[in-house]
């Protein structure tokens, strides 16, 4: 803070930039502190205590032993809040009012953590039955009053954290505990109250470890791309490679990339990791002289929605002096159907430069076959679950055959994944599928190994 003179009077000036505005100017220092605390510890919209207050409350030693924290998140908040401010105001009033009506209300505190997410702290912990009863009663009455007052029906996602020494010991941020509980609760779509228990705690600690290792691994560039050949059955030649991520770290070399990609996404490390993947893969592509061979890169929905994705890919392509057509990207149906405007911009931008789009794991997602026509896609990759079931399941065989026929009728090219036997390969060929990938031909291998052999 600084003291400045205005009209011969000394003002203590506290600089606090908030939403690009300089907020506070006052003669009175304690007034400034009060204002500042208001901003730090209260939700601007509702004036209710916010996450910082909650963290402070939970961490104060007298509260560590006994309180329990009930989280409730409004599932359809986006539809509700975007409509108007009055609705939002009424919602918050109803939530406050309902709590005031509850028995032993002095035993309870209400927090507003973020849009649509509230927490009630019960100071003296209840037993399990009392907790669930309180939650059911509170939310049911809240729902009824909201329906009556603003004629909207609300759905809630609920989690409970019983706060004690044990919960707060391992250096885990309360915020991460909250996220974990809510993530699980979201998976149950609000049909179950999720308690933060030992299993969740063990999972969370494991994720935190992987997260820390990922940060180090990204910094030290411990990631390499293995390549799995894709064969053209008509010419018996390798025409493409799929780049698959491997973590060159003895702890993780055998861990499926899915495990740590999920964590990289949760902790927002996926963007940096994705950029490394692009750098490594384009470097490998530059080492393959055959101009007709393409390497495909897997891109998760989060990466695809990142504003800088297309530019990064295109700049690495030009840095390595390769044709854009040497690179393809694999995305899932979910990516496409839930694509944000940024994701679509990215797709259109790279596709217009000649980078093909491969629809991965086809048949497992939304399977909105009819929509295929409208999607900016060049290839589909039939998921390996169809291929592996073909032999013992006539229906899967028929589905596979019709997927191939459908794709061809829409002028899309087809790759079959996970081909492990000669029988599968022959059958797919007879169905008109020329492009095959799977252990029958080759596992994913490091670049050096592949090109030593060939």
Partner whose footprint covers residue 180, from Ca ion, ligand C2E, none (CB < 5 to 8 Å by kind)? none
For residues 318 and 312, the answer to whether their CB atoms sit within 8 Å is no
| Interacting positions 352-411 with Ca ion (CB under 5 A) | 360-361
Residue indicated by tokens 């996404």: 265
Decide: is 330 part of the binding site for Ca ion (CB under 5 A). yes
Beta-ladder partners of 73: 117, 157
Could you please report the per-residue DSSP string of 42-70? B-TTT-SB-HHHHHHHHHSGGGTTT-EEE
The radius of gyration of the chain from alpha carbons, rounded to an integer in Å, stands at: 28
Decide: is 316 part of the binding site for Ca ion (CB under 5 A). no
The pair of three-digit structure tokens given for residue 226, joined into one six-digit string: 């293995």
Beta-ladder partners of 108: 122
For helices 422-430 and 394-409, angle between their N-to-C axes, nearest 10 degrees: 50
The minimum distance between CB 301 and ligand C2E, in angstroms, equals 9
Binding flags for ligand C2E, 222-261, as an x/- string (CB under 6 A) = ------x---------------xx----------xxx--x
The minimum distance between CB 387 and ligand C2E, in angstroms, equals 8
Decide: is 361 part of the binding site for ligand C2E (CB under 6 A). yes
For residues 71 and 114, the answer to whether their CB atoms sit within 8 Å is no
Other C-beta atoms within 10 Å of 388: how many? 18
Decide: is 422 part of the binding site for ligand C2E (CB under 6 A). no
Phi-psi region of 402 (alpha: psi -120 to 50; beta: other; left: phi over 0): alpha
For residues 328 and 379, the answer to whether their CB atoms sit within 8 Å is yes
Distances (CA, A) of 453 to 138, 258, 307, 420: 67, 28, 40, 20
Partner whose footprint covers residue 418, from ligand C2E, Ca ion, none (CB < 5 to 8 Å by kind)? ligand C2E
Size of the site for Ca ion (CB under 5 A): 5
> Among the candidate windows 177-185, 190-198, 368-376, 436-444, which touches ligand C2E by CB under 6 A?
436-444
Decide: is 333 part of the binding site for Ca ion (CB under 5 A). no
CA 80 – CA 91 distance, rounded (Å): 10
The minimum distance between CB 268 and ligand C2E, in angstroms, equals 14
Decide: is 428 part of the binding site for ligand C2E (CB under 6 A). no
- Which of 55, 149, 164, 420 touches ligand C2E by CB under 6 A? 420
Nearer to ligand C2E, 328 or 418 (CB): 418
Decide: is 300 part of the binding site for ligand C2E (CB under 6 A). yes
Decide the pairing of beta strands 108-114 and 237-247. unpaired
Binding flags for Ca ion, 103-122, as an x/- string (CB under 5 A) = --------------------
Decide: is 380 part of the binding site for ligand C2E (CB under 6 A). no
Nearer to ligand C2E, 92 or 299 (CB): 299
CA 146 – CA 76 distance, rounded (Å): 14
CA 205 – CA 208 distance, rounded (Å): 5
The minimum distance between CB 294 and Ca ion, in angstroms, equals 13
For residues 382 and 362, the answer to whether their CB atoms sit within 8 Å is yes
Size of the site for ligand C2E (CB under 6 A): 21
CA 174 – CA 176 distance, rounded (Å): 5
Nearer to ligand C2E, 98 or 400 (CB): 400
Partner whose footprint covers residue 278, from ligand C2E, Ca ion, none (CB < 5 to 8 Å by kind)? none
The pair of three-digit structure tokens given for residue 430, joined into one six-digit string: 């007879």
> Among the candidate windows 24-32, 141-149, 156-164, 295-303, which touches ligand C2E by CB under 6 A?
295-303
Going through 333-399 in order, the beta strands assigned E by DSSP cover: 356-362, 379-382
CA 100 – CA 106 distance, rounded (Å): 8
Decide: is 363 part of the binding site for ligand C2E (CB under 6 A). no
The minimum distance between CB 118 and Ca ion, in angstroms, equals 40
Decide: is 162 part of the binding site for ligand C2E (CB under 6 A). no
> Among the candidate windows 16-24, 351-359, 391-399, 414-422, which touches ligand C2E by CB under 6 A?
414-422
Decide: is 2 part of the binding site for ligand C2E (CB under 6 A). no
CA 323 – CA 241 distance, rounded (Å): 16
Residues that bind ligand C2E (CB under 6 A): 228, 244-245, 256-258, 261, 277, 298-300, 330, 360-361, 384, 418-420, 438-439, 444
């Amino acid at each position: 803070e600084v003291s400045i003179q205005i009209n011969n009077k000394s003002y203590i000036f506290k600089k606090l930039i908030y939403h690009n505005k300089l907020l506070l100017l006052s003669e009175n220092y304690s007034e400034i502190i009060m204002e500042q605390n208001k901003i730090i510890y209260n939700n601007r919209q509702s004036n209710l205590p916010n996450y910082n207050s909650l963290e402070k409350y939970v961490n104060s030693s007298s509260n560590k032993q006994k309180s329990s924290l009930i989280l409730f998140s409004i599932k359809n908040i986006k539809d509700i809040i975007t409509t108007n401010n009055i609705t939002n105001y009424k919602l918050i009033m109803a939530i406050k009012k309902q709590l005031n009506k509850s028995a032993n209300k002095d035993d309870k505190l209400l927090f507003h953590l973020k849009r649509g997410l509230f927490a009630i702290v019960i100071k003296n912990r209840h037993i399990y039955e009392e907790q669930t009863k309180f939650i059911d009663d509170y939310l049911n009455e809240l729902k009824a009053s909201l329906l009556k007052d603003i004629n909207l029906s609300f759905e809630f996602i609920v989690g409970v954290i019983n706060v004690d020494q044990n919960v707060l010991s391992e250096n885990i941020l309360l915020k991460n505990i909250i996220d974990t509980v809510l993530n699980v609760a979201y998976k149950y779509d609000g049909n179950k109250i999720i308690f933060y228990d030992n299993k969740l705690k063990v999972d969370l600690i494991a994720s935190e470890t992987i997260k820390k290792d990922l940060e180090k691994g990204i910094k030290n560039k411990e990631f390499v791309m293995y390549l799995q050949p894709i064969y053209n059955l008509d010419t018996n030649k390798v025409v493409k490679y799929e780049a698959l991520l491997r973590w060159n770290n003895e702890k993780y070399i055998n861990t499926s990339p899915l495990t740590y990609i999920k964590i990289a996404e949760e902790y927002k490390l996926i963007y940096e990791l994705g950029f490394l993947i692009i750098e490594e893969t384009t470097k490998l592509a530059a080492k393959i002289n055959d101009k007709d061979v393409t390497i495909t890169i897997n891109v998760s929905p989060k990466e695809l929605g990142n504003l800088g994705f297309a530019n990064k890919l295109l700049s690495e392509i030009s840095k390595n002096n390769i044709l854009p057509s040497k690179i393809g990207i694999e995305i899932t149906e979910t990516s496409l159907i839930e694509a944000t405007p940024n994701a679509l911009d990215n797709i259109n931008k790279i596709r217009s430069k000649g980078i093909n789009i491969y629809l991965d794991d086809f048949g497992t997602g939304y399977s909105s076959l009819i929509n295929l026509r409208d999607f900016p896609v060049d290839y589909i990759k039939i998921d390996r679950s169809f291929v592996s079931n073909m032999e013992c399941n006539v229906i899967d065989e028929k589905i596979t055959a019709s997927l191939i026929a459908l794709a061809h009728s829409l002028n899309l090219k087809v790759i079959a994944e996970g081909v492990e036997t000669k029988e599968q390969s022959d059958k797919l060929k007879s169905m008109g599928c020329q492009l095959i990938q799977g252990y029958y031909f080759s596992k994913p291998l490091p670049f050096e190994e592949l090109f030593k052999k060939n």
